[in-house]
Amino acid sequence: MSSDFDNPASLWPTMTPEAQPEPQRWVWAAMDPMDRQQRLRELATWVDWLRATFELHNSIPPCWYRHPPVVEHLTALYAGWIRTYAGEQTPGRELAEADWINTLHAFTPRLQLAACATGMHQAPPPAPPVTPGTESDFDYYLTSSETMNAPEAHPAAAESRRQAGDTELPL
């Protein structure tokens, strides 16, 4: 019996090249609510496939969609997966699929949520309140910090001059 997991390409609609829309970046905040919901469903279908195919049941919690940082990481992986597996083969990228799998494994620790490891969702802690005066402290740092106001000096300036053929270099 065949399923969507056997053929991930079946997860998105096929279109003729003329009918395909321009590739769009997935910026969640910039989507209208209807588009956001539709795309989250698309991402969820792919995440189900990803969890099954790469045996990531213990790495990606079932409540992943409730955690914006995890959604962002999975979105990046999905967009990269589409470009890698559904896009045109780019010369010099013969190992694109292996690179994507390496990226997946590099991202895996960021997908894990200790608080939700038991299968029960726990909301992330609230963001700390803005400390009064923080913005003015930041502005003060920008205008008074030695790091921000030091004169420009490249650490390899002497080497740059030597490569440019400057003959008046100190010994």
pLDDT of residue 49: 95
Provide mean pLDDT across the span 151-156: 76
What is the token pair recorded at 75? 């979105």
Indicate if the pLDDT at residue 162 is higher than 80: no
Provide mean pLDDT across the span 101-115: 90
The pTM score is 0.64
- Structural domain includes residue 18: no
- Structural domain includes residue 155: no
Indicate if the pLDDT at residue 6 is higher than 70: no
pLDDT of residue 100: 92
Closest CA to 119 of 48, 78, 63, 163: 63
- Structural domain includes residue 122: no
Q: Terminal CA-to-CA distance of the chain, rounded, Å?
A: 77
Percentage of the chain with pLDDT > 70? Answer: 81
Mean pLDDT of the chain, nearest integer: 80
- Structural domain includes residue 126: no
- Structural domain includes residue 42: yes
- Structural domain includes residue 159: no
Closest CA to 104 of 77, 85, 79: 77
Q: How many domains does the chain have?
A: 1
Q: How confident is the model at residue 23 (pLDDT cuts 50, 70, 90)?
A: very low
- Structural domain includes residue 3: no
- Structural domain includes residue 54: yes
The string of DSSP letters for 58-98 reads TTS-TTGGG-HHHHHHHHHHHHHHHHHHTSPPPTT-TTHHH
pLDDT tens digits along 115-133: 888 888 888 888 777 777 7
Lowest-pLDDT range, 43-57, 60-74, 124-138? Answer: 124-138
Provide mean pLDDT across the span 14-26: 56
pLDDT of residue 79: 92
Provide mean pLDDT across the span 71-78: 95
Give residue 66's domain range.
Answer: 34-116
